[in-house]
Amino acid sequence: MEHLSSLDASFLHLETPETPMHVGSLMLLESPEGYAGDFYDELKDMVGRRVHLSRALTRKLATMPFDLAEPVWIDDDDIDLDYHVRSLTLRKPGSMAQVEQLVARLHSSLLDRSRPLWEMYVIEGLEDGRIAFYTKIHHSGVDGKAGAELAKVLYDATPEIRETPPPRRRRTAHGYQLGVSELLQAAVANSAAQYRKLGDLLPTAAKALSASATVMAKNYRPDGGRPLPVGAAPRTIFNCAITNQRTFATLSLPMDEVKALGKRVGGTINTIVMAMCSRAVSGFLADRDVLPKESVIALVPVSLRAADDDSMNNQVTMIRVDLATDIKDLPERFKAIHASSEAGKAVVRELKPVLGVDVPMLGAPWLMSGMASFIGRSGIASQLPPSGNVLISNVPGPPAKLYVAGAEMVHYFPVSIPYHGKALNITVQSYAGRLELGLTACRRALSVEEARELIDRALAALREIETLPSVEPAAPAPSAAIVAAANRRPPASGDGAISASA
């Protein structure tokens, strides 16, 4: 058995029918020329031969009696591939808009907790001949980085399907679930071990807190500019209780050229993404006369994972980034966003030794589950002071091209989690030289048409950022221009792309 950390388990306890807590991916695949096989059967066969290579796919939950402590992972020796790997076909014409709407619907349903917490869907019938492949896995088992590592296990670096060691069915003494006494003994032992670690860490924690306070004081007004966001965020239409209905939209951009643009105008890829989201969200709200006077605040996950750590769990914390939506001047807004993002990451670097510490708490499962249910049913999420307005993530993905059962993975879009009080989640994932953006939202807060409008506004914002002057006036500043629209309609000819011209 394997104990869930408090962070991993929180994704289970905070889950309600309105707030499924799984993350997903939408891949667009291109079969080899002249392919005449059955892709679903071949993929299911490939998954069956590799499922044993990742514990994230072969473990299920065992809950503690009376929810007195966090659950544990136990091995499932009977994976039903016909349940976990499914096939769907689009109605004609099979547009990218139909794919996005189908993924939104699939993403809205809860995973079965009596089984390993993952599902895969092969979606055929696209008008351009490609195959869509949607996967989802519970966030209690992986974060963004761990999901990228899982992709390396399941997928190949060449069209040739690599051979893997065959699975062997394991026989365990505990049967379907563990006994009550065994679970309680494990919970007590794990809690004692965690409290010992917590005690040993106190001196380090004191130093980290002191260092972070120094960083906060130094960066409270970065470069003499505006103060960092420390209070509640202003209320927006996205700070509401949500339903389980979802909208999903995508955008793909060339990473190298976005990176070069960021360097030219004095930022990073992350700054470019934040600035695009800032311009898109502020324009969207302003046109509806609901843009707050105070700046919109983004909640941004930051990884705590070491570079060589490929464990299947969550190692992440959250920072608040000022999107500077109250600044009309784009160059000044860009500088403010960059300063806020860098200052937040500086605090995390100082606190990293203690942020990932597991703190066990008696009765946490039923306490957190009760709180999540109350927040959803009472509508209090629409009344509480929001900590942030929109969730924005930037996840490093596989740097090289991947293949799924012999089919080339052309796009690899993230599908993420909105929550009560944060009805909009914008996640960007790098893949094979591209930035793949997935917008996931509650459909009651953001309709299908509005989600596509936000994508179009983000692309327009990128055009604006291209017009910013170079931070090095002596160097020639290339004039870049977006030459194609978003890859939503259709993906084959609509990739967003930046081209440099003389």
Q: Chain-wide mean pLDDT for the chain?
A: 82
User: Quick check: 172 and 75 in contact, CB under 8 A?
Assistant: yes
- pLDDT mean over 324-333: 94
Alpha-carbon distance of 93 to 413, in angstroms, equals 22
Q: Which one-letter amino acid corresponds to residue 322?
A: D
- What is the distance of C-alpha 363 from the center of its chain? 28
Rg (CA), the chain: 23
331-340, 408-417, 475-484: the lowest-pLDDT one: 475-484
Asked whether the predicted pLDDT for residue 69 surpasses 90, the reply is no
pLDDT tens profile 155-195: 999 999 988 887 766 655 545 455 556 555 555 555 555 54
**Which string of b and e fits 441-450 if b means at least 16 CB within 10 Å?**
bbbebbebeb
Which member of 13, 22, 139, 420 is catalytic? Answer: 139
pLDDT of 365 > 90? The answer is no
* pTM of structure: 0.84
> Residue 475: which pLDDT band, with cuts at 50, 70 and 90?
very low
Instruction: Indicate if the pLDDT at residue 326 is higher than 90.
Output: yes
Neighbours of 7 (CB within 10 A): 21
Confidence band, pLDDT 50/70/90 cuts, at residue 478: very low
77 and 172 Cβ atoms separated by less than 8 Å: yes
* Structural tokens at position 275: 């600035």
Dihedral angle of Cα 104, 110, 111, 112, to the nearest 10 degrees: -150
Query: Is residue 139 annotated as a catalytic residue, yes or no?
Result: yes
